[in-house]
Chains A and B, each alone.
Chain A
Amino acid sequence: EAQVTQNPRYLITVTGKKLTVTCSQNMNHEYMSWYRQDPGLGLRQIYYSMNVEVTDKGDVPEGYKVSRKEKRNFPLILESPSPNQTSLYFCASSLLGDRGSYEQYFGPGTRLTVT
């Protein structure tokens, strides 16, 4: 089954304790991205990757890192989490469609709470 998986689905942690949220897709997609969703602010893009070893900042990259060492994986790293990073996080992947269009498949989400 074609899918995007995220782990963990739920995480409660403390300020400053490094964490990684994993994202994996089995569709051989070149493009992957991370979003966070907060009440009243909608979905905002954190980072995206056009292919292996190619990453770039989205709209809200501060406090986050990513890496793309393999095509299927795109982990999100919080080196020193803070309470303002409490949010619902989504990973997405996409083929580069016809003439530059992107049909994104989203993962189930990771609900992160930083205390």
Chain B
Amino acid sequence: DAKTTQPPSMDCAEGRAANLPCNHSTISGNEYVYWYRQIHSQGPQYIIHGLKNNETNEMASLIITEDRKSSTLILPHATLRDTAVYYCIVGYGQNFVFGPGTRLSVLP
């Protein structure tokens, strides 16, 4: 079973920041938090991952709480092309379990 809990769906206005939450209260000390997204039925796309510290790359920012029990993916300026299912995954090594994710709809 997936070790994460995400809201099934969210809406965001185009141009605004999209903040996608994820709960992972049973995360172990060596497990990473990963975020992927899937647009329609295309292959999932890696976005970002982190262990303890907040991370930022050209796509998004990842904020992990100090107790590591939850995290937030931030898309700073959402566009229509960011409409997708976003998966939060917790794991170490090759153990990847995808949950149902959050369906993000970016609205014009």
Contacts and interface: CB of A to CB of B under 8 A. Distances in A.
A60 to B, nearest CB: 12
Contacts of B92: 100
A43 B44 contact: yes
Binding site secondary structure of chain B: loop
Contacts of B98: 35, 42-44
B94 A31 contact: yes
User: Which size class do B's interface residues fall under?
Assistant: 20 to 34
Given A100-B30, A103-B49, A42 B100 contact: yes
Contact of A50 (B45, B49, B94, B97): B94
A44 B100 CA distance: 11
Interface of B: 2, 30, 32, 34, 36, 41-46, 49, 51, 87, 91-94, 96-101
B94 A48 contact: yes
B41 A88 contact: yes
A4 B44 CA distance: 12
Nearest to A111: B41
Nearest to A99: B51
Interface string A33-53: 101010000111100101000
A59 B97 contact: yes
A65 B101 CA distance: 28
Given A42-B98, A42-B100, A42-B101, A105 B32 contact: no
Interface in A53-99: 56, 59, 88, 90, 92, 99
Contact of B46 (A56, A105, A108): A105
A59 B96 CA distance: 10
